[in-house]
Amino acid sequence: MQPLFITATGTNVGKTYTTLALIEALASRGLRVGVFKPVETGVKHTPPDATILLEACQKVNSGFKDLTPLDITAYTFALPAAPFCADAQGEIDISQILGKYDALSKRCDLLLIEGAGGLMVPITRDYMMIDLIRDLNAKTLLVTPSRLGCINETLLSIEALKTHNIDFDWCVNLYEDKEDFEKVTQPYYDAVFSKWWCLEKGIEKFVHSHCTNL
């Protein structure tokens, strides 16, 4: 099955929260779901995001039972920064990320891949997160915030995905400034986009559509 890449307009938008919701929703439809966190930064000992994702995955897929959080990542770095900046020794080899993807894919029906930061975050000097999405031929779910200013972030990310000819859907994680969202942001989305949706209300419909198209 075509993998699903979960990205966002930036950091702290809700990628892990979304991926956890997807694990549960996809597993409820009988799919053996897998998880992959290609690069995680800000890691002192055990990668926190990878740990959370793996624990959720192991509850629904026995194929991941024998793995550790480091097994579902290709690289971890201590500095909380873009992978290129955190990788002070220049260790990152894209082929190793792709190899890890191949190995994890064999353990599941559908692999969920959680990115780091946004689409244009540099993994190496000349290779961005969006390039990894392209090379993995992944369907993409873009998660956008509900805070003031999110329209600009959302439109820039959508434009980048379209420019790179990447198949994507997008949703709003409605938790920041949620009381004001209906007044300061939603009018524009309603006027321009016919199919935008909120994560909290639309995850089941998205999963149904995604499974139907597999």
- Domains of the chain with bracketed CATH: 4-212 (3.40.50.300)
37 a catalytic residue = yes
C-alpha separations of 190 from 120, 159, 167, 176 in Å: 27, 18, 22, 19
Q: What is the pLDDT of residues 113-137, one digit of tens each?
A: 999 999 999 999 999 999 999 999 9
Task: Spot the catalytic one: 37, 59, 100, 178.
Answer: 37
What mean pLDDT comes out for the span 157-182? 96
* Model confidence, pTM: 0.96
pLDDT for position 104: 98
Is pLDDT at 208 greater than 90 in this prediction? no
Is pLDDT at 214 greater than 70 in this prediction? no
